[in-house]
Amino acid sequence: MHRSGATMAWNVFKFCTALRALGSIMILLVIGVVGVTYYAVVFNNYGPALYAGGFDFLTAFAVLILFHSLLVMLLWSYFSVVLTDPGSVPPNWRPAIDEEIGETNPLVGSDFNNDVPSDSSNQRIRYCRKCNQVKPPRCHHCSVCGRCVLKMDHHCVWVVNCVGALNYKYFLLFLFYTFLETILVTASLLPLFLAFFSDGEIPGTPGSLATTFLAFVLNLAFALSVLGFLIMHISLVASNTTTIEAYEKKTTPKWPYDLGRRKNFEQVFGTDKRYWFIPAYSDEDIRRIPALQGLDYPSKPDFNSQ
């Protein structure tokens, strides 16, 4: 039994190490897809169309403006997810009142030193035995990152980072702009893709045609896959739930953090509409909405009164 447990732990360690190594490759893959798409759209097709004049010029100009605008927002959101810490537990953090039961065996306040409060109803305090620290509400340990992450949603190999409280909005914007960009590229390259199967002569070298074909297929595949993720995360935001919590709360009769769609949305995107579509928050929202910091989450009044 001991040997089996040690073997399993070693396999998990190797799996996590492999995911860390895979991350750098995934970033290069994203850059590669963007590069192929950019070459196909700008250099092969719509860039040269700018010199044609007339309606072709107007079409190419509109496509290129929209393409570059979405590309800037996509890359801005993507690298914001990659470079932003998803949220770490502050040193020596201690809860005032525990708000949920953790996935590990939680300990009561008396199991810690005296500076850890414990309420009169003897509610349990979540504790991470791997990090050897108290866990805030909605916090989970990531085996790949090797630490606890505030309001952890999942570890994403595409961004080489965890998606948590401080970068979840950026991740959603990355999905949103990726979907719009891939739909635009798919639609703009569709006539050229259909021309592959026509009997007419297609202008361009074999290399440029192959690049256009590859860009169309890649963007169509990404558009369909990202659409599924986008729909899933929209439903999670609407119920104020993370991917991990959606699985865990199957056995929970009531979800205390569901405050209604509008307030749930504001806990991720803030209240300032000027910042909803960019990977940033206003200073006022950061001050007024503690949930954006990943440590304090309001819950339903009827739940607190129980």
Say how far apart CA 39 and CA 45 lie, in whole Å: 9
In contact, 270 and 281? CB cutoff 8 Å: yes
Burial class (CB in 10 A: 0-12, 13-18, 19+), 107: middle
Instruction: Calculate the dihedral angle through the C-alpha atoms of 19, 20, 23, 25, rounding to the nearest 10 degrees.
Output: -90
In contact, 191 and 171? CB cutoff 8 Å: no
Q: How far is CA 224 from the centre of its chain?
A: 17
Longest dimension (CA), the chain: 82
Q: Which residue has tokens 């998803």? A: 86
Instruction: Calculate the dihedral angle through the C-alpha atoms of 212, 213, 218, 219, rounding to the nearest 10 degrees.
Output: 60
Say how far apart CA 294 and CA 282 lie, in whole Å: 16
Tokens at 96, concatenated: 């005032």
Cite the active site residues: 156
- At position 134, the amino acid (one-letter code) is V
In contact, 126 and 106? CB cutoff 8 Å: yes
Tokens at 302, concatenated: 């009827």
Say how far apart CA 47 and CA 50 lie, in whole Å: 6
Say how far apart CA 190 and CA 254 lie, in whole Å: 47
Tokens at 128, concatenated: 């991470």
Residues in the chain, total: 306
Sign of CA dihedral 64, 218, 214, 159: positive
Give first-to-last CA distance, the chain, whole Å.
Answer: 43
